Copies of this chain bind each other. A is one copy, B any other.
Amino acid sequence: MHTVTVAALFSGEVRVGSPVTVKGWVRTRRTSKAGISFVALHDGSCFEPIQLVVPETLENYATEVTGLGAGCAIIASGELVESEGQGQTVEVRADRIEVVGWVDDPESYPIAKKRHTFEYLRTQAHLRPRTNAFGAITRLRNTLANAIHNYFHDRGFYWVNTPIITASDCEGAGELFRVSALDMHNLPRDDKGQLDYSQDFFGAESFLTVSGQLNLEAYCLAMSKVYTFGPTFRAENSHTSRHLAEFWMVEPEIAFADLEDNAALAEDFLKHCFRTVLEQRQDDMAFFAQRVDKQAITRLEQVIDAEFVHLDYGEAIRILDNCGQKFEFPVTWGADLASEHERYLSEQHVKGPVVVKNYPKDIKAFYMRLNDDGNTVAAMDVLMPGIGEIIGGSQREERLEVLDGRMTAPGLADELWWYRDLRRYGTVPHAGFGLGFERLLNYISGMENIRDAIPYPRTPGNAAF
């Protein structure tokens, strides 16, 4: 008897007529008066459950099979046969059902009912992967992560794990979480009564990283093509559906490269991701298109077919200024683009993906390369219809004297001595970008709340799990 996954039964790799054993959880059970029970069994391997056709001749039919309900764990053996029912190609004619785990008090099973709100399911994160929607997002997340790693691996990039705990707090990318091993009830003080972080674990104030970029640049200037893909943190006390305190970020960094190379990489990378999920997760993407967002598949196909339009920031401002549309936030050269502006550009003006380049230097980070005009830096944002900015990146300032003119925040040059150092020893033009993994996942699935793209949703004020 051959133990197989449900996915293998549907894939055609198991021949009809074969004896098979499948193991998983009951989604539904329906018992007909004709002495047959139909059990839908899922094991997480694919979207569709397999239908088990269970005859009353089984010795535990009356005692167990007809008592099965959602969530029960069983091992089923039988013959794989062509299905006579609608909607599935094959089913299993069961000759043995072993109940491995019952559901205590089925009335209280938190996900027993067919449809729940996503909000409710966030409070049941330990059980929600058994539902259709969260089984689908879990598989999609895995496929997307694998697509990302393989994209870079196949192109000779090295994955570098930049530090999660860092002493660097000057990048100004948002509020930081502090990390400490100090005894909070007995904090050490120096002779001025100030907190004495020299007695903390790493001998200095430490934080959770907001980006691996600066550390990654050092590896880029030795290995040429590198990327990080790891967790990053922002302590922004935001309850919006688009911000997470803990999220995964993808950051490639390429040497001997400029902003154009960077934009080309971003475009090629996104298309690769979209192609891969459409190919490998047809079942789950069909679910998202049917139940979550009708545009889920076509939106990705349109991006794959599109040539990304490039606009200078200055052009973008002129377009917004002259478009006749009323915006909540003013359109002025020197101000950052708001989400409404970004969406106008991609949804109304270009009707497709847009790369906006060369932003005013005063609204961008110190490490972005100063352009010859002296007013703008070689930054880029990739904007997509339906979501706005999905990628942010830049060419990095590789010239020490120019960098020094931009590293004027107090203490920054001392703290980042090693970052400056890189500009003294074989510096080269280099560029990279950052992409929020969960944000991309939501774009693909059409799920609205970014908390539904992570395995365990965390919100300010909610430390469950």
Contacts and interface: CB of A to CB of B under 8 A. Distances in A.
A370 to B, nearest CB: 17
A107 to B, nearest CB: 12
Given A179-B177, A455-B215, A161 B256 contact: no
Given A102-B426, A138-B158, A156-B7, A465 B222 contact: no
Contacts of A222: 25, 44, 127, 129-130, 135, 138
B126 A204 contact: no
B185 A458 contact: no
B425 A103 contact: yes
Interface stretch (A32-40, A285-293, A351-359, A415-423): A415-423
Interface string A131-170: 0000100110110011001000100101111111111100
Contact of A101 (B43, B75, B100, B398): B398
Interface stretch (A48-56, A223-231, A316-324, A337-345): A223-231
Contacts of A427: 73, 100-101
Interface string A381-401: 000000000000000001010
Contacts of A206: 463
Interface residues of A, number: 106
Interface string A57-73: 00000000000000111
Contacts of A159: 141-142, 145-146
Interface stretch (A195-203, A271-279, A303-311): A195-203
Nearest to A437: B161
A177 B161 contact: no
B463 A161 contact: no
A10 interface: no
Interface in A60-112: 71-73, 75, 100-105, 109-110
Nearest to A179: B177
A377 to B, nearest CB: 20
B246 A163 contact: yes
A461 interface: yes
A333 interface: no
Given A100-B256, A203-B460, A5 B160 contact: no
A208 interface: yes
Interface in A233-277: 233, 235, 237, 245-246, 248, 255-256
Contacts of A187: 184
Contact of A455 (B110, B160, B422, B429): B160
Which interface residue of A162, A224, A230, A419 has the most chain B CB atoms within 10 A? A224
A208 to B, nearest CB: 7
Nearest to A124: B418
B163 A465 contact: yes
A141 B157 CA distance: 12
Nearest to A104: B424
A436 to B, nearest CB: 13
A130 to B, nearest CB: 4
A429 B98 CA distance: 13
Task: Report, nearest first, the 10 A-B pairs whose CB atoms are least far apart.
Answer: A44-B223, A167-B463, A129-B222, A202-B463, A204-B463, A126-B218, A73-B426, A101-B427, A181-B235, A203-B461
Interface of A: 5, 7, 23-26, 43-45, 71-73, 75, 100-105, 109-110, 125-127, 129-130, 135, 138-139, 141-142, 145-146, 149, 153, 156, 158-168, 175-182, 184-185, 187, 195, 201-204, 206, 208, 215, 218-219, 221-225, 230-231, 233, 235, 237, 245-246, 248, 255-256, 398, 400, 418-419, 421-422, 424-429, 454-456, 458-465
Given A138-B160, A180-B180, 17 more contacts: A23-B428, A73-B427, A102-B426, A125-B218, A126-B422, A127-B222, A127-B422, A129-B218, A138-B158, A145-B159, A164-B231, A175-B181, A181-B237, A201-B245, A202-B458, A202-B459, A206-B463
24 contacts: A25-B221, A73-B426, A75-B256, A100-B426, A101-B425, A101-B427, A101-B428, A109-B425, A135-B223, A138-B219, A141-B161, A161-B455, A165-B177, A165-B208, A165-B458, A167-B464, A168-B465, A177-B179, A178-B184, A179-B179, A201-B237, A215-B456, A230-B231, A418-B465
